């Protein structure tokens, strides 16, 4: 197959996306596919674009990179663009993607995961991995996700949504401890756990730096888990144990900062119940192809679905590849399986 792997973009998770895309491209090449690895924002910045040659030669926009401890400087990324335009798709992106049999979306956060790219590709007739535009948009917004979970009987922490117009109401909030998170962010960027009222305003100010909508949830003390779901079926559960603090941007992507146990050490009943809840959440949101649901389990054995990720990370430290490996699915086979399951939505 001719496969275009799209990575990069303009979200705070740009570096994570590039790492995911690079690994996916290598894996698919090992399986014999013709693969172009493309930065969705930069595109292919050459006047001459022989698309068939790009696939035959395996065009790759980047060499191996690692996710740093700092969020990428997106202003510098924009400045580096050849045509200096504001449009999301870089040069020749549409042309290259139309030539491909399918696009593997290794995008994380921002317009790559909120349904906009998916909607554009639907209009262009371009096939892509993962969920469609509506499910992607709903899952990207944590407040909308929470409403859907509650409507479908998926247990989730209580929460209050704030917009930038509600800043005057921040002083009225009085439910601590709580978790403050940008409503549509990823990789825990801008997320804070607030234990005291005097720290709340600063946490909200930090979250509002990233977007105009912030979700404040009741804090649930407990063990943290994540469950990948492929084609509606849950993978083994993985437990996430940060060595310090919580599962933030640094702990997620810096080697040795977090212990991950897969399969998680849980009794059979709890394991089965959490997997069924993950499948229920996946179905409630209308996800397709694959996704990941994050959970907390408190001391009483109560489980809470936190959020869904429609384009989970595919880096060496990412969770879904570890879960797949626990049932004997190699990284290369996982990438092909994601493509196979994603193509089903075009055969309905």
Indicate whether 338 belongs to any domain: yes
HSE at residue 128, side-chain half, CA atoms within 13 A, is 31
The pLDDT of residue 67: 61
Q: Are 258 and 334 in the same domain?
A: yes
The enclosing H or E element of 148 equals: helix 142-151
Q: Are 193 and 290 in the same domain?
A: no
Catalytic positions, please? Answer: 13, 187, 253, 292, 294, 307, 309, 313
Q: Are 143 and 263 in the same domain?
A: yes
The pLDDT of residue 280: 98
The enclosing H or E element of 228 equals: strand 223-230
Q: Are 151 and 270 in the same domain?
A: yes
The pLDDT of residue 168: 74
Indicate whether 204 belongs to any domain: yes
User: β-strand 102-105 against 213-218: which pairing, if any?
Assistant: unpaired
Structure tokens at 314: 């595919």
Q: Are 248 and 286 in the same domain?
A: yes
Distance CA 343, CA 259 (A): 34
Structure tokens at 255: 């080697």
Give the dihedral sign, CA 117/122/127/133: positive
Mark out the alpha helices in 4-132 (DSSP H runs).
14-30, 51-57, 74-79, 93-99, 110-113, 116-124
End-to-end C-alpha distance for the chain, whole angstroms: 21
Distance CA 287, CA 280 (A): 10
HSE at residue 307, side-chain half, CA atoms within 13 A, is 24
Give the residues across from 36 on adjacent strands.
4
291 in helix, strand or coil? strand
- Looking up residue 299, the CATH number of its domain turns out to be 3.30.470.20
The pLDDT profile of the chain, 348 residues, written as one tens digit per residue, is: 999 999 999 988 898 899 999 999 999 999 999 999 999 999 999 989 999 999 999 999 876 565 666 778 888 889 999 999 989 999 999 999 999 999 999 999 889 999 999 999 999 999 999 999 999 999 999 999 999 999 999 999 999 999 878 777 888 899 999 999 998 865 567 899 999 999 999 999 999 988 889 999 999 999 999 999 999 999 999 999 987 665 555 545 455 668 999 999 999 999 999 999 999 999 999 999 999 999 999 999 999 999 999 999 998 789 999 999 999 999 999 999 999 999 999 987
Nearest one of 59, 71, 64 to 20, comparing CA atoms:
64
Q: Are 232 and 331 in the same domain?
A: yes
Task: Please answer whether residues 137 and 39 qualify as being in contact, where contact means their C-beta atoms are separated by less than 8 angstroms.
Answer: no
Indicate whether 297 belongs to any domain: yes
The domain boundary, picked from 128, 147, 172, lies at 128
Q: Are 88 and 226 in the same domain?
A: no
- Looking up residue 198, the CATH number of its domain turns out to be 3.30.1490.20
Q: Are 279 and 150 in the same domain?
A: yes
Indicate whether 200 belongs to any domain: yes
Indicate whether 133 belongs to any domain: no
Indicate whether 134 belongs to any domain: no
Task: Please answer whether residues 237 and 274 qualify as being in contact, where contact means their C-beta atoms are separated by less than 8 angstroms.
Answer: yes
The domain boundary, picked from 218, 241, 269, lies at 218
pTM: 0.89
Indicate whether 296 belongs to any domain: yes
Indicate whether 188 belongs to any domain: yes
Q: Are 41 and 85 in the same domain?
A: yes
The pLDDT of residue 187: 55
Q: Are 145 and 173 in the same domain?
A: no
What is the extent of the structural domain holding 265?
139-155+222-346
The pLDDT of residue 190: 83
20 in helix, strand or coil? helix
Q: Are 84 and 190 in the same domain?
A: no
The pLDDT of residue 246: 56
The domain boundary, picked from 185, 203, 218, lies at 218
Mark out the alpha helices in 189-314 (DSSP H runs).
200-208, 249-253, 268-285
Q: Are 239 and 340 in the same domain?
A: yes
- Looking up residue 84, the CATH number of its domain turns out to be 3.40.50.20
Distance CA 251, CA 260 (A): 11
- Number of structural domains (the chain) is 3
Contacts of 348 (CB under 8 A, 6+ apart): none
Distance CA 263, CA 235 (A): 9
Nearest one of 179, 151, 199 to 306, comparing CA atoms:
179
Q: Is 118 exposed, middle or buried (0-12, 13-18, 19+ CB in 10 A)?
A: buried
Distance CA 78, CA 10 (A): 8
């Amino acid at each position: 197959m001719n496969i275009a792997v799209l990575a990069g973009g303009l979200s705070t998770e740009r570096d994570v996306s590039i790492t995911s895309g690079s690994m996916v491209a290598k894996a698919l090449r090992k399986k014999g596919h013709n693969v172009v690895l493309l930065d969705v924002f930069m595109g292919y910045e050459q006047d001459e674009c022989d698309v068939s040659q790009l696939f035959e030669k395996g065009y790759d926009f980047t060499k191996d990179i690692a996710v740093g401890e700092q969020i990428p400087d997106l202003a510098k990324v924009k400045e580096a663009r050849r045509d200096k335009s504001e449009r999301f798709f870089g040069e020749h992106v549409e042309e290259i993607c139309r030539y491909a049999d399918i696009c593997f979306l290794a995008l994380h956060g921002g317009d790559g995961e909120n349904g906009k790219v998916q909607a554009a590709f639907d209009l262009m007739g371009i096939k892509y991995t993962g969920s469609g535009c509506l499910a992607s948009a709903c899952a990207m917004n944590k407040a909308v996700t929470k409403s859907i979970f509650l409507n479908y009987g998926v247990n989730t922490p209580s929460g209050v949504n704030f917009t930038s117009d509600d800043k005057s109401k921040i002083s009225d909030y009085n439910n601590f401890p709580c978790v403050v998170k940008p409503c549509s962010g990823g990789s825990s960027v801008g997320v804070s756990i607030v234990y005291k009222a005097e720290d709340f305003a600063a946490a909200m100010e930090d979250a509002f730096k990233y977007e105009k909508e912030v979700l404040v949830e009741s804090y649930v003390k407990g063990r943290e888990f994540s469950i990948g779901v492929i084609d509606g079926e849950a993978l083994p559960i993985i437990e996430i144990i940060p060595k310090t603090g919580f599962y933030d941007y640094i702990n997620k992507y810096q080697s040795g900062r977090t212990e991950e146990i897969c399969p998680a050490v849980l009794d059979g009943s709890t394991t089965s119940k959490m997997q069924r809840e993950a499948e229920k959440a996946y179905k409630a949101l209308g996800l397709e192809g694959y996704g990941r649901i994050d959970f907390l389990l408190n001391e009483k054995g109560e489980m809470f679905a936190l959020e869904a990720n429609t384009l989970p990370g595919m880096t060496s430290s990412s969770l879904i590849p570890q879960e797949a490996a626990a049932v004997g699915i190699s990284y290369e086979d996982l990438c092909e399986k994601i493509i196979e399951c994603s193509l089903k939505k075009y055969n309905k």
